């Protein structure tokens, strides 16, 4: 009986879904920008140093193009996909994705160093990586999972598109763990 219960999907009232659509995209971007705005004046680490208004506006525009285009490509491509909220909530509350990620992070520093250095190869730098070094005094608006929309994210975007379009599964970048890392970058490293 237990194996049958595990294999059977929960009833719809116990497992509501959320459909990726234009409203979801707009709400996602509004919440993200509101969180960034809050992080300009307050973070769990304390009060960040003030940033001139002109610099904030430049960061909002540049950060939107640099970091939010990931979601502007991913989410519209996945419009119509229904995300089951029960597995998302279980994953987020139990930290399952974080545990898997934790095993991979043992090698993160070495792995990321080489990925990042490849962006500095002469023929790659000007077209695909130079923008990453454009704003050195970052604000929360410039933060994403890697802190930028650099080429290393292309592979993750393709994986997310494969999960959503190819298999009808939730893109990994919408997991509680990845969203948490992305939002931590806003106040942990970019404020």
Give the pLDDT of residue 125: 79
Give the pLDDT of residue 35: 92
Q: In this predicted model, what pLDDT tens digit does every residue of 16-74 receive, in sequence order? A: 999 999 999 999 999 999 999 999 999 988 898 888 999 899 888 887 877 788 899 99
Please say if the pLDDT value at position 106 is more than 50: yes
**Alpha-carbon span 47 to 191, nearest angstrom:** 9
Query: Do the Cβ atoms of 146 and 138 come closer than 8 Å?
Result: no
Please say if the pLDDT value at position 10 is more than 80: no
Q: How far is CA 29 from CA 62, 100, 118, 165, in A?
A: 15, 27, 30, 21
Please say if the pLDDT value at position 15 is more than 90: no
**Alpha-carbon span 32 to 180, nearest angstrom:** 12
**Alpha-carbon span 154 to 141, nearest angstrom:** 20
| Out of 92-101, 113-122, 160-169, least confident range | 113-122
What tokens were used for 159?
């994986």
**What torsion do the CA atoms of 171, 73, 182, 178 make, to the nearest 10 degrees?**
10
Burial of 64 (0-12, 13-18, 19+ CB in 10 A): middle
Please say if the pLDDT value at position 5 is more than 60: no
Give the pLDDT of residue 2: 47
**Alpha-carbon span 172 to 159, nearest angstrom:** 8
- How many other CB atoms are there within 10 angstroms of residue 14's CB atom? 9
Q: In this predicted model, what pLDDT tens digit does every residue of 129-177 receive, in sequence order? A: 776 666 666 788 877 765 454 556 777 888 899 999 999 999 988 999 9
């Amino acid at each position: 009986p237990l194996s049958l219960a595990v294999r059977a999907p929960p009833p719809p009232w116990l497992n509501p879904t959320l459909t990726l659509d234009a409203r979801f995209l707009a709400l996602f971007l509004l919440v993200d920008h509101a969180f960034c705005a809050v992080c300009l004046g307050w973070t769990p680490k304390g009060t960040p140093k003030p940033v001139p208004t002109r610099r904030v506006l430049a960061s909002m525009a540049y950060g939107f193009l640099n970091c939010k285009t990931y979601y502007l490509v991913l989410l519209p491509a996945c419009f119509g996909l229904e995300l089951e909220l029960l597995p998302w909530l279980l994953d987020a509350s139990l930290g399952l994705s974080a545990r898997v990620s934790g095993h991979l992070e043992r090698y993160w520093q070495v792995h990321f160093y080489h990925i990042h250095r490849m962006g500095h190869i002469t023929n790659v730098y000007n077209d695909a990586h130079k923008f990453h070094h454009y704003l050195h005094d970052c604000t929360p608006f410039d933060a994403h999972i890697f802190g930028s929309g650099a080429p290393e994210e292309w592979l993750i975007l393709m994986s997310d598109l494969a999960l959503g379009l190819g298999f009808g599964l939730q893109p990994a970048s919408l997991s509680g763990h990845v969203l948490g890392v992305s939002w931590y970058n806003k106040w942990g490293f970019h404020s």
